Amino acid sequence: MRSPQPLLALLAAAALSSAALPAAASAASPTALDAVTACRAITDATARLACYDKAAGELVAADAAGDIVVLDRQGVESAKREAFGFNLPKLDLFGGKGEKPAALDRVEGVAKQAWQNGTGGWTIVLEDGAKWDQVGRDPVRRAPKPGSKIAIRKASMGSFFLNIDGQTAIRARRLD
């Protein structure tokens, strides 16, 4: 018997792709996931297998066309980390049915570059490419440099605190 993992990954991808659609649109037209789940109701084994083969073929074609994206849990966590600090629409892209997505409220990284910007604050680029800018005039005792440990956490009202090598936090915002 073959492992259900590839099918489960395809089902998860279909669920993720349909999560971004408005409820009325997804109810009006069946999704690739609906086609797969409908196969479960078929009692004849041969007909059920044919149904699964057809539905899986449609999922593979949708994947090849770029209409769906397959992410495992590690991929979801990576996407959340890359988006940390941006104000994104509240779409349920990273949670399953009945599952509340875990909130990411803190990331850690290493500074790749750091410089004082035109306003006298610091701009820090992390190794993963995330660019953060100091907001306000809070002093930084030890200047950040490549290799500095950076910890960023959510603060109130959509703002963020950034710690450089364990120093007192400064307010920051994500640039890109």
- Domain ranges in the chain are 5-70, 106-174
Phi and psi (nearest 5°) for 133?
-120, 135
Secondary structure of residue 73 in the 3-state scheme: helix
pLDDT computed for residue 76 by the predictor: 78
Is the pTM higher than 0.95? The answer reads: no
Which helix (H) or strand (E) element contains residue 133?
A: strand 131-134
Q: Classify the C-alpha dihedral 120-175-108-161 as positive or negative.
A: positive
Residues 6+ apart with CB under 8 A from 10: 36, 56, 59, 60, 63, 70
Of 17-21, 48-52, 98-102, 117-121, the range with the lowest mean pLDDT is 17-21
State the CB neighbour count (10 A cutoff) for residue 149: 13
